[in-house]
């Protein structure tokens, strides 16, 4: 059992064959499914809403990790809970009452994820670390798939990993954006353990082969990794 998880981002799937794509991603050995919800306001793009999350949950056999890139997420969290989300992520930049929003998610029996944009410092989540189940560090500016990985986020990943290790809690550290065969080792070395992969996964042509290639890259880091900072 690997300590790393691969989470294909449905945003890059063929929406016309959504259920088929979900099944194929699972059969290829994916550990999670990552679902990006965009409102055209917090981010410039519009993607999908709770009905599509419900359709994905219906065929999902692995955790459904919902990433909300929306303003006023409190208004919509209950619908994503009902849609079958396993975890719900909210952006620190979109939540003036972050602690309250995280409690709302947890009280619903769903894992709470706090998400940071590339330009947002680690310090902004320090106060809520005891309240989160997962931290997601954006490694591109949210809104679109297929963008280039921002390397300046690496020290932040390492810093948050240190906090997690010090806490002794089992908090997942997720990276999202531009993660591919040429970047996955770097983020693993800096302490990430869940890798969201959109275009790299769905444009690979052969999902199973791609998962195996990613696992091969991660193999050397299975036994814990010295921080590369």
Q: Which residues bind ligand DX5 (CB under 6 A)?
A: 9, 11-12, 34, 36, 67, 140, 142-143, 145-147, 176-179, 196-200
User: Which range touches Zn ion (CB under 5 A), out of 77-85, 145-153, 174-182, 216-224?
Assistant: 174-182
Q: Are 177 and 214 in contact (CB under 8 A)?
A: no
Collapsing DSSP to helix, strand or coil, 45 comes out as: coil
Cβ 87 to Zn ion, closest distance in Å? 12
Q: Using the rule CB under 5 A, which residue among 22, 66, 67, 153 binds Zn ion?
A: 67
Short-list 61, 68, 160, 168, CA closest to 113: 68
* Alpha-carbon torsion (4, 23, 28, 91), positive or negative: negative
Binding mask 15-54 for Zn ion (x = CB under 5 A): ---------------------x------------------
Q: Which of residues 81 and 136 has its CB atom nearest to ligand DX5 in the complex? A: 136
Residue number, 36 or 133, with CB nearest to Zn ion? 36
In Å, what is the CA distance from 163 to each residue of 87, 129, 135?
Answer: 21, 8, 11
Q: CB under 5 to 8 A by kind: which of Zn ion, ligand DX5, none does 143 bind?
A: ligand DX5
**12 vs 98 by CB, closer to Zn ion:** 12
Of 39, 65, 133, 176, which is the active-site residue?
176
Tell me if residue 176 is catalytic: yes
Q: Please pick, among 36, 39, 133, 172, the residue that the annotation labels catalytic.
A: 36
CA proximity to 3, closest of 139, 164, 178, 121: 164
Cβ-proximal residue to ligand DX5, closest one:
198
* Whole-Å CA distances, 165 to 99, 131, 229: 21, 15, 16
Burial of 127 (0-12, 13-18, 19+ CB in 10 A): exposed
Paired with 34 in beta bridges are 9, 65
Question: Is 91 among the residues that bind Zn ion (CB under 5 A)?
Answer: no
Closest separation in Å from C-beta 7 to ligand DX5: 9
Show the beta-strand stretches assigned E in 53-164: 64-69, 87-91, 111-116, 134-138
CB of 177 to Zn ion, least distance (A): 7
Active site residues: 36, 176
- The site for Zn ion (CB under 5 A) is made up of 36, 67, 176
């Amino acid at each position: 059992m690997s300590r790393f998880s691969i989470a294909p981002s449905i945003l890059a799937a063929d929406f016309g064959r959504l259920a088929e794509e979900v099944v194929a991603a699972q059969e290829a050995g994916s550990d999670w499914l990552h679902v990006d919800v965009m409102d055209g306001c917090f981010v410039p793009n519009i993607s999908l809403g709770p009905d599509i999350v419900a359709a994905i949950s219906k065929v999902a056999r692995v955790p459904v990790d919902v990433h909300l890139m929306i303003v006023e997420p409190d208004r919509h969290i209950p619908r994503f809970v009902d849609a079958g989300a396993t975890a719900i992520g909210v952006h620190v930049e979109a939540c003036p009452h972050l602690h309250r929003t995280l409690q709302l998610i947890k009280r619903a029996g769903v894992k709470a994820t706090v998400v940071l944009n590339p330009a947002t410092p680690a310090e902004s989540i320090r106060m809520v670390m005891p309240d989160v189940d997962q931290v997601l560090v954006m490694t591109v500016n949210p809104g679109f798939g297929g963008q280039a990985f921002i390397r300046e986020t690496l020290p932040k990943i390492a810093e948050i990993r240190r906090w997690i290790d010090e806490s002794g809690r089992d908090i997942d550290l997720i990276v999202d954006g531009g993660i591919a065969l040429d970047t996955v080792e770097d983020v693993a070395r800096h302490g990430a353990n869940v890798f969201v992969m959109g275009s790299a996964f769905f444009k690979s042509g052969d999902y199973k082969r791609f998962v195996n290639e990613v696992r091969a890259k991660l193999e050397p880091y299975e036994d814990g990794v010295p921080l590369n900072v």
